Chains A and B, each alone.
Chain A
Amino acid sequence: MDALIAAAARALATGDILGALKRVALRDDGPALALRGIAMAQLGDLARSKALLKSAARAFGPKEAVARARCSVAEAEIAFVSRELSWPLATLAAARATLEQRGDRINAIHALHLEVRRMLLLGQLDEAEQRLGAPAPAPIPPALTAAHHMIVAGIAMRRLQAAPARAALAQAHQAARQAGIGALVAEVETASAILEAPAARLIAGGKERLLRIDDVETLLASDALIIDANRNLVRSTETIIALAARPVLFALVRTLAEAWPHDVTRETLLIRAFGARHADESHRARLRVEIGRLRAALRPLANIVATKRGFALKPRRKCEVIVLAPPVEERHANVLALLADGEAWSSSALAIALGASARTVQRALEELSASGKAQSFGRGRALRWITPPLPAFPTILLLPGPLPGG
């Protein structure tokens, strides 16, 4: 490899994008095109970057397998950050195999990280953890070490395990600082801020307070009867009753739980569950029916008893009743709450879970997407929706680096 390519590659690896471009901006050979492509991706111009990487792969020719594999990995990363998850995984796996075989460990590890991040995005936590494995033996560059720990933190956060998430982020922070890449340090800090921010709101005995992820973890491990308004389910230790597809029942149990140990009047229940302004006889009949259904659904965990004024929740065991709500309840909070479980949802699945029409859900998703609170990927029937705060990931594309002739 020649001196300018080496210097540009090094500049890219340390986050100096403009320094890299300055050195190769006017060159059209394969290595220069690849470096320009990666620099453009880091500057956010993904379309230009894709075109440059494609011409770089062409310029390399069929014999330069390693250089072409690096271009494939870079293209896969661009597809990933633009959430085009239909990008062929087999191509990425083949590129990774080539890189491993030819001794380019660093880019092979980067390719592996991409595969794992995709699994994490799709909520495949166990597979992601298994695939990631232990950190690669040293020496690997600190930027890759940081990426590894960010993935570990992401898995732990998705599992609501605060302590391991925090430990992994601390290691990521140290590695990112060692790498000296400002953007990477900032991404780790953003992820830490997400981890320390209120994750939920606890409502019990007429009082409210914000909970951090640690508190949620402790709460879930306790024997309390938890009405989880993030995922629309009722849980107590091992037993989980999902009510995501039954919004009226969930609204009723939540209202009862917020008043516990006191009872709730029929009027209040009608207003909260049906949005009825005033209660007439037909509403009362419907309430009786829904309470009956709720009673049947909750049978393993709690009973609902009739009182003079209305109804009250009675847990089977002697335990506290707690409502766990999103930190802020806002417009389309129900959609956000479902997305917050970290799975990738189709809009039709959301519509079923919310008991709403496809059109209503679509409108809500469009609004949430416009305000950056929801993201979509895929096309047509494969279109899926997620909430962004996966802990931010280092979208630092690795240089295709030491190119042939290195």
Chain B
Amino acid sequence: MKTMAAEILNEYGPYPGVDNVHGVTFDGNHVWFASGDRINAIDPDSGAAVRSLDAAAYAGTAFDGQHLYQIAENRIDKIDPATGRVLASIPGPAGGGESGLAWAEGTLWVGEYQGRKIHQVDPETGKILRTIESNRFVTGVTWVDGDLWHGTWQDDKGDVRHIDPSTGEVLEVLEMPAGIGVSGLESDGAGRFFCGGGSDGKLRAIRRPERVS
């Protein structure tokens, strides 16, 4: 396992009306983040708030190339990002204990916070396909280049870690500075991760390390 300090490239916010950043996702142009009663889109280059959708948005957010998925209490809503309309809902796999959400390989990956687990879920039915155990409270979840990464936040410490999806083994850890937690997590498909800061109302971009082979 390789441990290093996270390199913060950029800090965004806090934005007006946002006390809390929950889930984070990226649609190729904009970073979206959940803040309780809204999903907000910002431009990651300028940091400018672009638009927002009214929605119950209490934890993880994901994007499948076309729709947003948003954890709202004990269900996961599928939302049209153009209109904000909820197109479908599936029950969450942890009955309200869900935290992070990612889209990869045609399925949803749901972090269960207190349970220290990540569930792979069928996006149509909500059926749990398999479960990966972690040893830390799981917050955000993301896939990039076939690697599974998740955020943690426990005992006032946060980090972003790369794990082996088949065994749960921790391969790399990027430690956040003291007192900064990670709520949501998303990669931009390239050299950056976007991390929600939870109660500090901020969003941070950190550098993704070179791939270990």
Question: Which A residues are within 8 Å of any B CB, using their own CB?
Answer: 1-4, 6-7, 9-10, 13, 23, 29, 61, 63-66, 101-104, 106, 138-139, 141, 401-402, 404-406
Contacts and interface: CB of A to CB of B under 8 A. Distances in A.
Given A4-B74, A23-B73, A102-B156, A406 B20 contact: yes
Contact of A2 (B19, B113, B179): B113
A402 B155 contact: no
13 contacts: A1-B99, A3-B73, A4-B96, A7-B56, A9-B20, A61-B155, A65-B156, A106-B199, A139-B15, A401-B19, A404-B156, A406-B183, A406-B199
Interface string B22-44: 10000000000000110000000
Contacts of A405: 99, 113, 137, 139, 153-154, 181, 183, 198
Nearest to B98: A3
B92 A3 contact: yes
Given A3-B92, A139-B16, 19 more contacts: A1-B99, A1-B113, A1-B153, A1-B198, A3-B59, A3-B60, A3-B99, A4-B73, A6-B59, A61-B155, A63-B156, A64-B156, A103-B200, A401-B19, A401-B199, A402-B19, A404-B154, A404-B156, A405-B99
Interface string B119-139: 000000000000000000101
A404 B157 CA distance: 9
A interface majority secondary structure: loop
A111 to B, nearest CB: 15
A3 B96 contact: yes
A265 B142 CA distance: 93
Contacts of A139: 14-18
A29 B98 CA distance: 14
Given A1-B99, A2-B99, A401-B19, A103 B92 contact: no
A103 B22 CA distance: 16
B113 A10 contact: no
Interface of B: 14-20, 22, 36-37, 56, 58-60, 71-74, 92, 94, 96-99, 112-114, 137, 139, 153-156, 179-181, 183, 198-200
Nearest to A30: B114
Contact of B58 (A6, A65, A66, A103): A6
B58 A3 contact: yes
Contacts of B199: 103-104, 106, 401-402, 406
Nearest to A103: B200
Contacts, number: 107
A174 to B, nearest CB: 16
A138 B74 CA distance: 33
Contacts of B94: 2
Contact of A10 (B37, B179, B183): B37
A139 B200 CA distance: 12
**What are the 7 closest A-B residue pairs judged by CB atoms, nearest first?**
A406-B198, A402-B199, A4-B96, A63-B155, A3-B59, A6-B58, A2-B113
A406 B153 contact: yes
A1 B60 CA distance: 10
A271 B29 CA distance: 89
A61 B92 CA distance: 28
B19 A141 contact: yes
Nearest to A402: B199
Highest count of chain B CB atoms <10 Å: which of A3, A10, A103, A138: A3
Candidate in B156, B183, B199 with the most chain A CB atoms within 10 angstroms: B199
A163 B179 CA distance: 43
B72 A3 contact: yes
A406 B153 CA distance: 8
Contacts of A106: 19, 199
Contacts of A1: 22, 59, 99, 113, 139, 153, 183, 198
Contacts of B198: 1, 402, 405-406
Given A10-B37, A106-B19, A405-B139, A2 B156 contact: no
A330 B31 CA distance: 66
Nearest to B183: A406
A405 B151 CA distance: 9
Nearest to A66: B156
Contacts of A6: 20, 22, 36, 58-59
A405 B158 CA distance: 8
A9 B35 CA distance: 12
A404 B17 CA distance: 21
Nearest to B76: A3
Most buried by B among A23, A63, A406: A406
B19 A404 contact: no
B20 A402 contact: yes
B151 to A, nearest CB: 9
Nearest to B92: A3
Contacts of B20: 6, 9-10, 401-402, 406
